[in-house]
Structure 1
Amino acid sequence: MKPDKLLSQLGMAMRAGKLVTGDETVLKAVRTGKAHLVVLAADASDNTKKKFRDKCNSYGISLTEASDRVQLGRAIGKPERVVLAVTDMQFGKMIANHLSPNTEVDPT
């Protein structure tokens, strides 16, 4: 997927109220099964990437790495964001279906 398309779809999910942001909020959404897709900024720290990769892998949640924290924040109308979770299955599928294979974070 083109980065602009991904950012546009994330903005749409945010306006629809189907997206949560922030470390603890996203972790809670993953643990409770409300997250359908987690998006990490490409410039997130290695520790953050590992934490979310492990958590998403253990709960069976799709995880992708895209863009950087400034662009993710701008896409949803907020300041810099490192991690986002799409909480609607349809939005999650729409975004995941258009991701190119090289943007997926390896769950191993």
Structure 2
Amino acid sequence: VGLGEDVFCRQTMALTIRGSYLETAASVLCPTLIIAGAEDRVCPLDRHEEIASRIEQARLTILPDCGHISTLEQPEAVSAAITELLKQPAAQATRSGNCKLEVVKTPN
């Protein structure tokens, strides 16, 4: 891709110092879509399954024949999964009350 050593070093540092997403996953109280590539070698499927199990309203979508960068490898499938999530009722009951799912349109 040719992004260079600097980009690689910054990405590696960011991954090293960030906290565990598993510890905070249970605090997510709104509908959540987790998209995983079945052939992802960077973040294995069992990790996606684990985080999905910790989020009350998680939906896990596994894309066959897809690796780590699903938005580039299968953009249509990713768009379809997001569209399905957005078709769900906007207000979902959660432990803390109602959680609103809002679609925000950005100007072209």
Shorter-chain TM-score category?
0.3 to 0.5
Bigger Rg, structure 1 or 2: 2
Which structure has the highest helix share of the two?
Answer: 1
Which is bigger in relative contact order (C-alpha 8 A, separation at least 6)?
1
Q: TM-score, normalised by structure 1?
A: 0.36
